[in-house]
Amino acid sequence: MKLLLTGGAGYIGSHVAALAEREGHSVTIVDDLSTGIANRIPRPVVDINLASTESVERLSRLMRETEFDAVIHLAARKQVGQSVEIPEQYFLDNIGGLANLLLAMREHDVKKLVFSSSAATYGMPTLDLVDEDYPGVPINPYGQTKLAGEWMVKNAAAWGLRGVNLRYFNVAGSESKKLADTAELNLIPIAIAQLKRGEQPIVFGTDYPTPDGSCIRDYVHVEDLAKAHLMAVGYLDRPVQEFATFNVGTGQGASVLEVLEELREASGIEFEEVLADRRPGDPPRLVANTNRIEKMLGFKASFGLKEIVKSAWDAAN
Ligand SMILES: NC(=O)c1ccc[n+]([C@@H]2O[C@H](COP(=O)([O-])OP(=O)(O)OC[C@H]3O[C@@H](n4cnc5c(N)ncnc54)[C@H](O)[C@@H]3O)[C@@H](O)[C@H]2O)c1
């Protein structure tokens, strides 16, 4: 298949690109390298800022040159805290970028899209295992841009788009050093970076209503997530798509303290974590109900927390 992949120089995108190429697909990457790293991928990217005014024309040129079978759209800003500080920029990049992409796809009759959404669309869910029909209300501009993006994908069915929204839970791990998550934005890369600097990892909140008092999340290995994208492209080939939105997680929760215990083992460093107050806006528990993706796409995560943390540690060292 000929795939157009946006955000392919990013942490997740580079794993999707590597897997797609191993599976024999031809992959064209569009990325403005704002947070991406060029040497994660073997060849130059097409440098387009999707949110820029000229992007529809530049994407159109690309689509005239190559008849893409499907688009996988990952390019976006993803920092929750930053989205609160500069919400306009998040709406411009995440929603404007997707709108430009859809305009070009519509013009060139490219009718299959996998969209990178997030569990941030759920806000503060009260279910133990949150399913796709849960009426979540995002609690920050980042989550809002992802939910609005899902609506855009669904609305484009009016002109024949077949779209899938993949709601990623907590993505971590790496297939290699080259593709490691180098941004210190999520628990595992933050804690690894702290250990490497000789600092102690910090636990924000130890009085949540969870067994050990720290927050619980669903950690999914980035290689499993990459696989889900290609399965989603396959799903779009079926004559009928019953669902447009899928959780991508493991269905297993792990607390911050459990993750740090795995990190103690993977690193061999006997650190003491620093216990700190809660941060605003952290749901106590966010774990995926994975029934839909298992049933409809045949997706089941193959890596657990141990492999995730070990691969992240190995990739960073
Ligand atoms: N990492 C996670 O845990 C997580 C969880 C849920 C959803 N997501 C989503 O997954 C996607 C990829 O995340 P990631 O962790 O790989 O982040 P990343 O920052 O490593 O990758 C994003 C890529 O998109 C590119 N990009 C950003 N804005 C662009 C624009 N306007 N035009 C062209 N390229 C642009 C960046 O240069 C980068 O290469 C994002 O959409 C993110 O919101 C990530």
Report DSSP letters for 223-267, one per residue. HHHHHHHHHHHHHHTSS--S-SEEEES-S--EEHHHHHHHHHHHH
Last-in-domain residue among 208, 229, 248? 248
Residue nearest atom 9 of ligand 1, based on CA coordinates: 116
**Mean pLDDT value of segment 271-275:** 96
In the predicted structure, residue 164 carries a pLDDT above the cut 90: yes
Instruction: Give the pLDDT score at 280.
Output: 87
**Minimum CA distance residue for ligand 1 atom 35:** 75
Burial 169-201 (b: 16+ CB within 10 A, else e): bbbbbbbeeebbbeeeebbbbebbebbeeeeeb
Alpha-carbon distances, residue 223 vs 12, 226, 246 (angstroms): 9, 5, 17
Residue positions annotated with a catalytic role:
142
Domain shared by 38 and 118, yes or no: yes
The whole-model pTM stands at: 0.98
Query: 232, 248, 264 — which closes off a domain?
Result: 248
Structural domain that includes position 117: 2-171+220-248
**For ligand 1, is residue 227 a contact (CB within 6 Å)?**
no
Contacts 24+ apart (CB under 8 A), 124-129: 124/283, 125/283, 125/285, 125/286, 127/289, 128/285, 128/287, 129/251, 129/287, 129/288, 129/289
Could you tell me the pLDDT band of residue 133, with boundaries at 50, 70 and 90? very high
pLDDT attached to residue 315 = 98
- Are 156 and 183 found together in one domain? no
Instruction: Confirm or reject: Cβ of 9 under 6 Å from ligand 1.
Output: yes
Average per-residue pLDDT for the chain: 97
Contact 19, 227 (CB under 8 A): yes
**164 shares a domain with 176:** no
Probe residue for ligand 1, chosen from 4, 5, 6, 12 as the CB with the greatest number of ligand atoms within 8 Å: 12
The CATH number of the domain holding residue 183 is 3.90.25.10
- Encode pLDDT of 284-316 as tens digits: 999 999 999 999 999 999 999 999 999 999 999
Please check whether residue 98 is in contact with residue 150, taking contact to mean a CB–CB distance below 8 angstroms: no
Q: Total domain count for the chain? A: 2
pLDDT tens-digit map of 274-283: 999 999 889 9
95 and 183 assigned to the same domain: no
Residue of the CA atom closest to atom 8 of ligand 1: 118
**CATH classification of the domain holding 225:** 3.40.50.720
Q: What's the rounded mean pLDDT across residues 42-54?
A: 95
Do 6 and 146 lie in one domain? The reply is: yes
Ligand 1 centroid vs 142 CA: distance in angstroms? 12
- Based on the domain organization, do 165 and 185 belong to the same domain? no
Within 10 Å of residue 300's Cβ, how many Cβ atoms? 13
CA-nearest residue, atom 3 of ligand 1: 171
Span 212-238, pLDDT tens digits = 999 999 999 999 999 999 999 999 999
Q: State pLDDT tens for residues 82-109.
A: 999 999 999 999 999 999 999 999 999 9
Q: What is the per-residue pLDDT for 312?
A: 98
123-140 average pLDDT score: 95
Ligand 1 mean position to 7 CA, how many Å?
A: 6
176, 182, 184, 187: CA torsion to nearest 10: -10
101: closest CA among 165, 36, 30? Answer: 30
Atom of ligand 1 nearest to the CA of 49: 32
203 and 60 within one domain: no
Average pLDDT on 148-161 reads: 98
Cα separations in angstroms, 279 against 26, 86, 288: 43, 19, 22
Q: Is the CB of 231 under 6 A from ligand 1?
A: no
Q: What is the pLDDT of residue 43?
A: 83
Percent of the chain with pLDDT over 90: 98
Q: Is the beta carbon of 12 within 6 A of some atom in ligand 1? A: yes
Pairing of strands 219-221, 170-172: parallel
Whether 119 and 262 map to the same domain: the answer is: no
